[in-house]
Structure 1
Amino acid sequence: MVSDGLLTAAGTAVYETGAIAERNTTYEVAEYAPGFVLIGDDSGGRGFLVRAGDAATAVFSSDLGDLDPADFQVEAADLAGWLDSVLAQDD
């Protein structure tokens, strides 16, 4: 499956490539979580982030009001595994 962004029935959003820069600017990710990129959210105030420039990065989650990497939680060991779990929410 090829997709530029998605929104699951459970409310998990994976941002379209054209929206990633705007979302990262809006949430000031570069200031509060340097080295990370916000790639989606749960439609309830929790964001999903990956390490910039790391193809093998884990996927982390954080309250969008607290983007301190010390408070991040690991959601999946890698992006592919996380996407599989996101897509399984709709099954």
Structure 2
Amino acid sequence: MQAWFGAAFAAPCLAMLAAHGGRLLGDRVRLYAPDELIERNLTYETREYCPGYLAIGDDSGGRAIMIDPCLPDPPVYCVDHGAMTADAFERLAPGLSGWLQRGGPLSRDA
């Protein structure tokens, strides 16, 4: 995965992706299993439209969950699959670890 991405993932981020991938958070957020990450990111053309970011899941409603996997505890963003550019990101949480602990809320207020 890291070779495809073109950069090394931060060890804490990699551990969180491995531990939580393939899970459903709440009733809407699906985190991609490690073996799905490349295929999902190829499908959504993440490298072309959001260089430096990785889609790690989706909201089951047309929006991708995005992070910068090179950061140890990256901020979590949500973006519409039809407008996948960093300027369209909505910040959901300041860090992936806290976002996961809270069950993957799709709103900053949750």
Coarse TM-score class (shorter-chain normalised): 0.7 to 0.9
Aligned residues: 88
Cross-structure match for 1:28? 45
As a proportion of its length, which structure holds more strand? 1
SS at match of 1:5: coil
Aligned CA RMSD, in angstroms, stands at 1.9
- How many angstroms apart in 1 are the aligned matches of 2:52 and 2:72? 13
TM-score (norm 2): 0.72
How far apart, CA to CA, are the structure 1 residues paired with 2:104 and 2:85?
27
1:17 aligns with 2:34: yes
> Residues 49 and 85 of structure 2 are in contact (CA less than 8 Å); yes or no, is this contact kept in structure 1?
yes
Using the alignment, how far apart are the partners of 2:76 and 2:104 within structure 1? 15
What is the Cα deviation at residue 52 of structure 1?
Answer: 3.1
Cα distance, 1:9 vs. partner?
A: 4.6
Identity %: 34
| TM-score, length-scaled by structure 1 | 0.86
Deviation at 1:87, TM superposition (A): 5.9
State the 1:4 CA deviation. 3.8
In the aligned structure 1, how far is the partner of 2:44 from the partner of 2:62?
A: 11
Structure 1 unpaired stretches of 5+: none
Structure 2 unmatched ranges of 5 or more: 1-18, 106-110
